[in-house]
């Protein structure tokens, strides 16, 4: 099945993590986000990948190259992000005659469900959520052996059900000629208009996904790492000191160093070039990326430290994401829990948004540096290149109430 992988968007809801990197290239366990999607597609039966690129495209092109996991890769450029139908239209010249799949490069799908989708052409992936108002909701009807899709409505105030569109499609061959759609009410060229036409002219199957995650906001990047790091098995190839204690499924890659007195409670992934300790404590689902450093008496819990990030000594980082080359000064403390036990809120595209998580720390863009004894409150975001002074207390984003 020829498969279009959408990876051109700017990822504005993921800022500041995407100020200098395409969202599909954000780290999830042992590879970029879009690489998990691509590998799952290949395992499900993708015969060719057509990757639609745009924002920060060079890193995407360099990573995937001309072939990925034994499958040929071609690239299509979406010069202006005008919507999903526009992205697929950019890929259309690379399609061969026949049906084709479309997947979001910033979403995770389970292999078994994606395989069923590929086998059920034409089809759309479906998933049940508690709050469907932020998604495309599917209209369906029961047939003899499965569920048929009869239409879709985008972000309805009064949803007809809680069954949503996962953004995973298999379209019939003639849909290649249906991509010239008009603008939606949101001013975009929507792939759901192509889905509507497919529903009018074909029996489109709603394939239920066992696992699916739309990785659009920072806390969902934590959730993606919880999923994928949780699938790793214990492996110690790096330099682990005999006085270190490692419990559970912890991967220490070749070239990583775990010093004396360190305690790591998995699942966790320590990437090549990373150093941990001495006397550090890693717990929860944590990613310590390439060349990151966790120093003396530092505790890191359920967090992502991207390439080159440093938490030098005597600090606490919980339920947080630190971008590339972040440097936390000594005794930097991250709060990750509200005293009223309500879900932590954080700004997303100019609006204070609930993370839905009782525990959530901070999000730091690339090259953030904190002065010694800085305190960062739950839900704080620091833009790329931001600086704090010694003993500074950052209670909220300067523009918003927390």
* Of the candidates 125, 302, 115, 116, the residue with the CA atom closest to the CA atom of residue 212: 125
Q: Which residues contact 283 (CB under 8 A, 6 or more apart)?
A: 263, 264, 265, 268, 299, 300, 301, 302
Query: Under a CB-based contact definition with an 8 Å cutoff, are residues 367 and 384 in contact?
Result: yes
| Cα(302)–Cα(82) distance, integer angstroms | 36
User: Tokens in use for 151?
Assistant: 């239409």
Q: Coil, strand or helix: which one is 13?
A: helix
Chain position carrying tokens 């599917």: 138
Q: Could you confirm whether 313 is annotated as catalytic? A: yes
Query: Under a CB-based contact definition with an 8 Å cutoff, are residues 323 and 366 in contact?
Result: yes
* Of the candidates 112, 106, 110, 169, the residue with the CA atom closest to the CA atom of residue 136: 169
How do strand 257-258 and strand 239-240 relate by DSSP bridges?
Answer: parallel
| Cα(72)–Cα(311) distance, integer angstroms | 40
SS3 percent helix, strand, coil of the chain, rounded to 5, is 20, 35, 45
Q: How many CB atoms lie within 10 A of CB 59?
A: 15
E strands in 143-244: 147-154, 163-171, 204-208, 212-214, 235-236, 239-240
233 by Cβ neighbours in 10 Å (0-12 / 13-18 / 19+) ranks as exposed
Query: Under a CB-based contact definition with an 8 Å cutoff, are residues 160 and 137 in contact?
Result: yes
User: Tokens in use for 162?
Assistant: 């809680």
Which pairs count as long-range contacts for 80-83, CB under 8 Å and 24+ apart, including other chains? 80/54, 81/8, 81/9, 81/10, 81/54, 81/55, 82/188, 82/189, 83/184, 83/188, 83/189, 83/190, 83/191
User: Tokens in use for 163?
Assistant: 């069954």
Catalytic residues: 313
């Amino acid at each position: 099945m020829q498969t279009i992988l959408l990876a051109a968007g700017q990822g504005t809801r993921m800022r500041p993590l995407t100020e200098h990197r395409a969202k599909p290239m954000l780290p999830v366990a042992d590879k970029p986000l879009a690489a998990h999607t691509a590998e799952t597609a290949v395992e499900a039966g993708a015969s060719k990948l057509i990757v639609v690129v745009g924002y920060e495209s060079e890193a995407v092109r360099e990573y995937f190259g001309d072939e990925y996991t034994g499958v040929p890769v071609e690239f299509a450029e979406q010069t202006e992000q005008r919507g999903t139908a526009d992205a697929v239209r950019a890929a259309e010249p690379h399609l061969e005659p026949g049906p084709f799949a479309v997947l979001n490069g910033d979403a995770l799908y389970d292999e078994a469900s994606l395989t069923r989708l590929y086998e059920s052409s034409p089809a759309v992936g479906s998933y049940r959520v508690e709050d469907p108002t932020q998604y495309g909701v599917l209209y369906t009807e029961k047939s003899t052996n499965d569920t048929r899709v009869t239409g879709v409505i985008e972000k309805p105030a009064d949803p007809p059900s809680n069954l949503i569109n996962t953004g995973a499609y298999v379209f019939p061959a003639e849909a290649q000629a249906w991509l010239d759609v008009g603008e939606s009410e949101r001013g975009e060229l929507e792939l759901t208009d192509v889905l509507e036409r497919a529903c009018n002219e074909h029996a489109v199957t709603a394939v239920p996904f066992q696992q699916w995650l739309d990785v659009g906001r920072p806390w969902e990047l934590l959730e993606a790492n919880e999923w994928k790091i949780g699938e790793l098995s214990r492996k110690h190839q790096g330099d682990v000191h005999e006085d270190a204690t490692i419990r559970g499924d912890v991967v220490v890659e070749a070239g990583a160093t775990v010093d004396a007195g360190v305690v790591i409670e998995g699942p966790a992934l320590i990437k090549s070039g990373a150093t941990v300790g001495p006397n550090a404590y890693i717990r929860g689902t944590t990613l310590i990326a390439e060349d990151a450093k966790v120093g003396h008496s530092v505790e890191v819990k359920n967090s992502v430290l991207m390439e080159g990030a440093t938490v030098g000594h005597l600090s606490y980082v919980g339920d947080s994401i630190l971008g590339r080359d972040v440097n936390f000064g000594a005794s930097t403390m991250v709060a990750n829990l509200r005293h009223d036990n309500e879900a932590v809120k954080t700004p997303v595209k100019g609006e204070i948004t609930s993370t839905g998580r009782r525990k959530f720390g901070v999000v730091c863009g690339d090259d953030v540096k904190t002065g010694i004894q800085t305190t960062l409150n739950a839900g704080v975001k620091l833009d790329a290149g931001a600086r704090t002074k010694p003993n500074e207390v950052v209670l909220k984003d300067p523009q918003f109430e927390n």
